[in-house]
Each structure stands twice: as C-alpha cells, then as structure tokens.
Amino acid sequence: MSADTPPPVIVSPRLEQILQTLPDPAFAGRLRKAYIAAAQAIARLSDMDLVKYETDSTESGADLSLWEEMAPVIRDTVVDVNTLLNVIREQFSGPLPAGGADGFQAKAREASSALQESMAQMAQQITQLGEAMRNPSVVSDRWTLLAEIQRFRSSFREQISNLVYTSITAFVDVARKEVVPGYEAEVKASMTVRAIVADLGRILSARLAKVRDAGPAELQANAQQLQNEMDAFGRTAAYRGLRAQDKRHFIELRGKVGPLAAMAAPPKEELLSAVEALDGLVRGLASVNQRQVLIINDREVWAACGVRLERAMGLVDSDPATAARLLAEAAAIGQSLYGRESNMDAFLRKARKAPLASLTGPELRATLENLQGLLANLGVT
C-alpha cells in the first residue's frame, strides 16, 4: 500500500465482535458490508470544511463562482449517500435467514427492517436536497445555500449513525460510542462548541454590564475590547462549527462593532445595541444542546455521575476517603456537561482547581449535596 493510499475502512472492534458472534456468518457478512459503507459515508460527509466557501460580506449572493465551487460538493453528497443506499439494497433485497437459535431470525428481520427504513428516509431526503437546490430563495443567497448544504450533510450523518445503531441493537444492547463510526469525534466537537459558546456568553454578559455602566471616556475601550473578544471567538473551533446562518449574523455584528471601535467617542446607544444583539445571538447558540449526540451524551454522563454520588453519600460517614474519591470522579466525568447550565458551569470551573478527593467532614457532605442538586436541576431525562 502506497503512502497516498488511505487505509481500508473497517468496523469498530466492538461491532466486529458482535458480528462474529452472530450464528449466521453470511448474514453477518451482509451487515459488515453495510457498516463499512456507512463508515465511509460518514467520513466523507464529515470532511468538508465550509469555511473556505464563506465570505466576510453578508450581502454576497450565490454567484456563478460559488456555484462552480459548490456543485462538486452537492454532487459528492448525493453520490456518497447513494453509494451507501446501493450497498443496502444489494445486501438486503434477498431472503433473510430461515431460522436460528434464540430467535435469531426475528432479530435479523428487525435489523433488516431498520436498514431498509433508514434507506427509504435517506432516499426521500436526497429528493428534498434536489428540490432545495432548485429553490430560488436558497440558491440566490450564498449564506442560505451554505446553510442548506450544511444542514443536509449533518442530517445524513445523523441518519447513518442511527442506521448502524438501530440495526445492531436488534441483536445486543450496546453503547453508541462503541459501534457508531465517528461518534466520539462528533460528541467531542459538539462539546467543544458548547463549552466555548458558554465561555463567550459569560464574557458578553460581563461586557454588557460594563457598557451599561460606562461613562463617555470608557466607551472606546469597551468597543475595542468587544472587537478583540469577537476576533478571538472567530479563531476558535466553536466558530468553525457554527451553522452558516449563525456565522452570517456574527459577521453582521462584527461589521457594526469595527467602526465603533475605531471611534474616539462611539455613541453609547449604538455600542449597547451591538452588545445586546451579540449577547442574544450567543444565547441562541444554546440550541447546540439539542444536538442528538449531546442529548445522548448528557444522559449517559448524568447517570454515571448520579451513580457515583449516590454511592458517595452512602459512604460519607463510614468511609469519607472513598466518598471523596467518588465525588472527584463524578466531577471529572461531569466536565463534559460544561456549557449546559450556568450554575453547573460555575461548579465545574471550581472543581478543575479544587482538591475534591481530599475533602472531609461537613465540606465533603455539602459539596456532594451541592453537586447532586445541580445534576437534579439540569433537566436531563
């Protein structure tokens, strides 16, 4: 294999282990081909960086040059999804296993049905993608076009992930991160967006308070600091992970802040309006919590933290050292919830520096109860 040849796509070790245990090797082979195709599709749908198609202007229409750039992306999106759908059609259009121990036939039918149902949904969505690309309101605006392409590719990745998970769980209960290709990377990327957006929200809340209280001599410094804060956010992974339309609004506001920062005495009302608008935009980015990967992750983390805290509370009097260790473990696991809720965020920031594993006595109990209460208020179900 040459250095330029990509490594062959294989399924995850846990997924391969499950396939090896199925009583029908032929059916397992059919599933394996579908899962390899799914992994290839997810990888290809994830590797497009839309940033290079963006612009610093929010007024730019979808001109011919953009179409020349985006046509291959749209084509490849359709080809990548159709390649997976063709594999599923080839592998699951024939007869299913005729029998098997422990209800294997019923499980195989359930897995096959899950694959075929997902195939039908994605085929329908390909049609919707084609319709969107013929919609004048979409194709006449650069940012709307980028947003739609981004939305479809994200939706396809999510559906393919579900395709793998729902079909393999017909045979065994398993965590998504063990079997879904690219799942852990997707979770990590979403957590990064959430955490950075939460920190920006805190910064903007403080900036808003300062601008409200600022005198005329302090307005330019606040405008310049706001400009620096926006520039710093624009260099983060969170900014790259934003939806195209959110980036558009951010750029619009950045265009308003720049001239204000250049003024010796910027009008307070204009600066305050810009900060309030940016604060509202960032608060709206909390919708990242509704991403399926974060909903699933947060449920798992919430449960894992809860189990440790419950055990710790049972040991706080008889074995405080173990209780403190469990508290520290729960706080460490809970760091992946950062950005979900402000009070929990404040606790997690302190926990990064606090020696939780060495707490004793009333402080240990109070900290345990505090974290239990914060978890209960997260609204994770």
* Count of structural domains, the chain: 3
Contact (CB, 8 A) for 235 and 245: no
Each residue of 274-283: pLDDT tens digit? 999 999 999 8
Shared domain for 299 and 282, answered yes or no, is no
CA quadruple 68, 70, 76, 81: dihedral positive or negative?
Answer: negative
Last residue of a domain, one of 125, 147, 181: 181
Q: Please indicate, yes or no, if residue 341 is contained in any of the structural domains.
A: yes
When pLDDT is averaged across residues 242-258 and rounded to a whole number, the result is 88
Question: Counting Cβ atoms within 10 Å, is residue 1 exposed (0-12), middle (13-18) or buried (19+)?
Answer: exposed
Shared domain for 137 and 68, answered yes or no, is yes
Shared domain for 31 and 85, answered yes or no, is yes
Contact (CB, 8 A) for 324 and 308: no
Shared domain for 262 and 307, answered yes or no, is no
Shared domain for 201 and 163, answered yes or no, is no
Domain that holds residue 340: 292-376
Last residue of a domain, one of 164, 181, 198: 181
Shared domain for 18 and 153, answered yes or no, is yes
Return the minimum-mean-pLDDT range out of 8-12, 38-42, 180-184, 250-254: 8-12
Shared domain for 283 and 300, answered yes or no, is no
Shared domain for 168 and 71, answered yes or no, is yes
When pLDDT is averaged across residues 123-139 and rounded to a whole number, the result is 90
Q: What is the CATH number of the domain that holds 284?
A: 1.20.120
pTM of the model: 0.80
Last residue of a domain, one of 288, 318, 339: 288
When the pLDDT of each residue in the chain is averaged and rounded to a whole number, the result is: 89
- pLDDT at residue 2, as a whole number: 44
Q: Please indicate, yes or no, if residue 381 is contained in any of the structural domains.
A: no
Shared domain for 121 and 151, answered yes or no, is yes
Shared domain for 82 and 218, answered yes or no, is no
Each residue of 150-183: pLDDT tens digit? 889 989 999 999 999 999 999 999 999 999 998 9
